[in-house]
Chains A and B, each alone.
Chain A
Amino acid sequence: MTEKPIKKIAIFGGTHGNELTGVFLVQHWLQDGTEIQRTGLEVKPFITNPRAVKKCLRYIDCDLNRVFDFENLGKKMSEDLPYEVRRAQEINHLFGPKNSEDSYDVIFDLHNTTSNMGCTLILEDSKNDFLIQMFHYIKTSLAPLPCYVYLIEHPSLKYATTRSIAKYPVGIEVGPQPQGVLRADILDQMRKIIKHALDFIHHFNQGKEFPPCAIEAYKIMEKVDFPRNGNGEITAIIHPNLQDQDWKPLHPGDPVFVTLDGKTILFSGDCTVYPVFVNEAAYYEKKEAFAKTTKLTLNAESIHSSFH
């Protein structure tokens, strides 16, 4: 399959203001962008939620990474709109518009998680050969450091991300890192992911043909909330056997929660699943203790740039 060469790339940090790796990498690259330059490519680093970054909060009024749907993007601009909705419209204007020819080709959105997910690449479309090839390249380049692919394609669970305004949206999630903390090892991993991603795009633009490939991926099935009482208060928490075990198989009958009184609750699903975002701080209010995924293989045809 031939693709048009990639021209405009953006790297977003601070979509959640307390996920510091992206914030500091983007701020560093705004001062000194040498590392992210590649011949023939425009690579723009950008802080998406500066007010949240300033206060070291996830968001001011609402989660920026959930409001890039057409309804919110189309609302009439007014001071009454939540800050993040107004900001989303600005970002759509600068890097989109979403679904148009003028939108940026690739947007990398940098995130951290308190979950033990290691290096994770987030894919929104299972048929996107270009991104599957990119992810394959990144995984191969990072090895033996594990790098997981999380597919959020789902009729109701897929959410309207900041990066979704680009033709090729890429989510990059590295953890575990507490909110408000900057770890050197996590920053180094995220830096490497971006380096390999930009190298891939550069090779692609230079005419390199990438043969058909396959990657292992984890597709979201369902979100699981903490057990709660009638008042909505959490009554059980992630079991020590599940804590930090993102991407590892969870079998029916395995411990999954433990009540505040110490009683174990077993996983009652009917098949093995692969949990992710286990005990993510920001998801308590979204009523998500972890997400269940199934493991599958994604295939991509060969690609090369139509320029050559």
Chain B
Amino acid sequence: MCSLPVPQEPLRRVVVTGGTHGNEMSGVYLARHWLRTPADLQRPSFSTVPVLANPAATALCRRYIGRDLNRTFTNTFLTSRATPDEPYEVTRARELNQLLGPKNSSQAFDFLLDLHNTTANMGTCFISNATDIFAMHLCHHLQLKNPELPTRVLVYRLPKEETYSLDSVTKHGMSLELGPQPQGVLRADLFSRMRSLVSSSLDFIELFNQGAAFPAFEMEVYRYLGCEDFPHTEDGDLAGMVHPQLQDRDFEPLQPGAPIFQMFSGEDMLYKGDSTMYPLFINEAAYYEKNIAFIRSEKLMISVPALPGLTPTPTPLT
């Protein structure tokens, strides 16, 4: 799979989105704060637009109204004809695509940073498509800038035509995922950490715009493998819960034979895979309806090629 080409010019148009899920409060409050006072977002060489991605869901403090906005940026939805009874998020995705895209075009914004929270014990997590070298360098930069904070990088590999999330609309993009935080709750510690990470991200873009080059590096990442569902009864009801020994152990190795679910009737259900894997998003509230108890991932080192510095363009004679 080809990597996205690295930017050849300064990034001039950047967007930060909060409230893509209306009950993930760090991003909701940050977006609202920046819409009132955008000073935090100013940098000498570029402008950043704050956007409240799902205003209707945010107003009701729900994840979504009709369907998950962050699964609606597929080419199918984005190019579909508008219908009067389509879900709110389909209309909104098209609006955002017009505002920040169009996806896959040269008019799209340069970079999008999407802010999320999870009820899972994910700590500080950066989520990026591994094909986006610029985003991978930003993840690395954020890790180096926060040595005292455990941070993890979650990567997936999807060709552009299969991407569906908001951060795939712009030329480059990634998501920040902080947890644990209950839906509808704003914790001060995560709010200030999210704010600081956004600020560092914009600083990185500024450095790049000023001509900085970033060498190749190796980075430990967690690569998405698949999902594991809860056990269900024949009627489709939940038959058990995440096992107490798995609860809150995101990013810790899980061995074959280790308990993963505790049935309501008392027995343990064990992990039947044949090798160690790293579970993530363990017991995320929003994933119950998606039939996901946790995500399976593998831990590996990846090599990221250098991000060359911009070649200075000669100043035009006026």
Contact = CB atoms under 8 A, between A and B. Distances in A.
A294 to B, nearest CB: 26
A302 B315 CA distance: 92
Contacts of B283: 181-183
B183 A258 contact: no
A178 B182 contact: yes
A28 B233 CA distance: 12
B106 interface: no
Interface of B: 29, 32-33, 61, 119, 180-189, 191-192, 237-238, 241-244, 247, 262, 264-265, 283-286, 288-289
A176 interface: yes
A182 B242 CA distance: 8
Q: Which of B241, B244, B289 has the most CB of A within 10 A?
A: B241
Interface residues of A, number: 34
Contact of A238 (B188, B238, B247): B188
Q: What 10 A-B pairs come out closest when comparing CB atoms?
A: A178-B182, A180-B285, A281-B184, A178-B119, A114-B182, A184-B244, A28-B264, A181-B285, A281-B185, A184-B241
A83 interface: no
Interface in A2-53: 24, 27-28, 32
A60 interface: no
Given A178-B185, A180-B286, 6 more contacts: A179-B183, A181-B285, A184-B241, A237-B187, A260-B191, A282-B184
A279 B244 contact: no
A32 B185 contact: no
A243 interface: yes
Chain A interface helix/strand/loop/mixed: loop
Contacts of A180: 119, 183, 285-286, 288
Contact of B188 (A27, A56, A182, A243): A243
A178 B241 contact: no
Contacts of B264: 24, 28
Given A184-B242, A260-B33, A237 B188 contact: yes
A258 B188 contact: yes
Nearest to B262: A184
A284 interface: yes
Contacts of B288: 56, 180
A114 B181 CA distance: 9
A178 B183 CA distance: 7
Contact of A279 (B183, B187, B243, B289): B187
Chain B interface helix/strand/loop/mixed: loop
B171 to A, nearest CB: 31
Contacts of A177: 182
A187 B289 CA distance: 20
A262 interface: yes
19 contacts: A24-B241, A32-B265, A56-B288, A178-B119, A178-B183, A178-B185, A179-B184, A180-B285, A181-B283, A181-B284, A182-B238, A184-B247, A184-B262, A237-B29, A237-B186, A243-B187, A243-B188, A243-B189, A279-B185
Contacts of A262: 192
A101 interface: no
A14 to B, nearest CB: 14
Given A182-B241, A184-B241, A185-B244, A240 B189 contact: yes
B182 A240 contact: no
A233 interface: yes
A239 to B, nearest CB: 6
Given A183-B241, A243-B189, A281 B32 contact: no
B243 A184 contact: yes
A185 B245 CA distance: 10
A240 B190 CA distance: 10
A279 B186 CA distance: 8
Interface string A266-308: 0000000000000111101100000000000000000000000
A238 B238 CA distance: 35
Contacts of B285: 178-181
A239 B189 CA distance: 8
A265 to B, nearest CB: 11
Nearest to A239: B188
A187 B192 CA distance: 32
A285 B184 CA distance: 10
A109 to B, nearest CB: 20
Contacts of A184: 241-244, 247, 262
A281 B262 CA distance: 27
Contact of B119 (A27, A181, A234): A181
A187 B264 CA distance: 10
A233 B243 contact: no
Interface string A233-265: 110011110010000000000000010101000
A201 to B, nearest CB: 24
A282 to B, nearest CB: 7
A28 B263 CA distance: 11
Contacts of A238: 187-188
Contacts of B185: 114, 178, 279-281
A288 to B, nearest CB: 13
Nearest to A178: B182
Given A178-B180, A179-B285, A180-B119, A185 B247 contact: yes
A177 B244 CA distance: 14
